[in-house]
Amino acid sequence: MSKSRTVRTTAPETLWLAGGHHTGPAPQEALRANLRKLKADETIHDFLETENSTEADGHVFEARWLVDDAVTVRARLATDGRDLVDAERRWTLAAEAERPWDPAWPSPATMFWPEKSEIAWDHDIVAGLRLQDINPLPQDDKALRRLLKDAGRNSWSINVVVHEAMTPDQRGRLPLARLLPPGLRHRVVEHRAAPEQLQAVNWALYDLGVRVPRGGAVILPGTPARQGYEKQDFTVRSVFLDGSEPTELLDKVVQYAALPWPLPEAAEEAFTALRQNWHLVTLEEELAHARALVSAYAEALDAMTKSRDRYREAADLAHAALAEIKEFRGAVSPAGEESRQHDGNSLHQLTRTIQRVADSLRPRSK
């Protein structure tokens, strides 16, 4: 795998990130309606819609709510205004809690999008992939390689490739997402390889540095790879597609999600926007911000006053130094022991005065 030379921001443990596509027109209408409903039933405390200044016809929604009855979550969902294939629009969602994120908390995606509806918002950033369903891999080898390469390099989701050792019955065709903790259900893409696709899939995975065992599964490292990722730690030898719970695979997905994540550029932008462009503040937060500004201004004024006094003191010393320079020049006389001694004393005094000027201009430790 290629290694980027760019130093990337690592996602803090308090952060939840996801991105995808909404299919169909006017995603903002669906978001507004659902946010109003969630506020009315007190699932969320409040929400706010602002313009997406970076995208024409884009929209930004902010919301805040509590988890565990005491932990505040702030979240920001942005939609772009570019019409993609079949009128799809990309969305990004960044949420941050007051303490490290617990996968058992509700998914921030369902605090914006309607969880059960005909609106297809749960498509991955990589076109054509669903976040809560099984994604059969293409039968065409070129299309298969292109899809896995795109998923491995561009998706923000946790991409899991499962190989079917034999064609499963209906019980084995249930998606993995339904068994995951709520906070991971909209962050996982499940790819399914048919029994005859094993060789083609592993050939496609070669550039990503991993392979899927026959009848097993592998979690892709992502780009950039998560810190501490080792392919043997995120490979499962056998996954029984008989309706039973694949405990080992589920555990590895949770472990992978907990690895430090060097953010892709677009994900870092979403994280930065959440922290720096937040508008949905409470009265208490506004008062705290005002107090912080007053404190900062007071410190700046105090520093300016002290600086003014220091430079006034330095100016007085400089005038004294100039006077001593004139006196030193006037004291210069023809060579002689007494004259040289007098000149040395005058020079020593002048040097001390100049040093005092320099010392007065140096920053003083607190």
Q: Is 32 helix (H, G, I), strand (E, B) or coil?
A: helix
Q: Which two tokens stand for residue 291?
A: 């107090």
- In angstroms, the Cα distances linking 336 to 339, 344, 349 are 5, 12, 20
Per-residue pLDDT of the chain in tens (366 residues, 90 and over written 9): 444 446 789 999 999 999 998 887 778 888 999 999 999 999 999 999 987 666 666 789 999 999 999 999 999 999 986 654 456 788 999 999 999 999 999 999 999 999 876 778 999 999 889 999 999 999 999 999 999 999 999 999 999 999 999 989 999 999 999 999 999 999 999 999 999 999 999 999 999 999 999 999 999 999 999 999 999 999 999 999 998 999 999 999 999 999 999 999 999 999 999 999 999 987 676 666 566 666 666 777 667 777 776 777 777 777 776 776 666 566 555 544 444 455 555 556 656 666 666 666 566 555
Q: Are strands 188-193 and 71-79 parallel, antiparallel or unpaired?
A: unpaired
Instruction: Quote the pLDDT of residue 173.
Output: 92
Helices (H), 155-246: 198-205
Phi, psi of 5 (to 5 degrees): -85, -10
Instruction: Quote the pLDDT of residue 337.
Output: 46
Instruction: Quote the pLDDT of residue 340.
Output: 46
Instruction: Quote the pLDDT of residue 112.
Output: 96
Instruction: Quote the pLDDT of residue 3.
Output: 45
Instruction: Quote the pLDDT of residue 329.
Output: 61
The model's pTM is 0.77
Instruction: Quote the pLDDT of residue 304.
Output: 72
Instruction: Quote the pLDDT of residue 313.
Output: 74
Q: Which residues make beta-bridge pairs with 97?
A: 73
Asked whether 40 and 118 are in contact (CB, 8 A), the reply is no
Helices (H), the chain: 27-40, 141-154, 198-205, 247-257, 265-276, 283-331, 337-361
Instruction: Quote the pLDDT of residue 6.
Output: 62
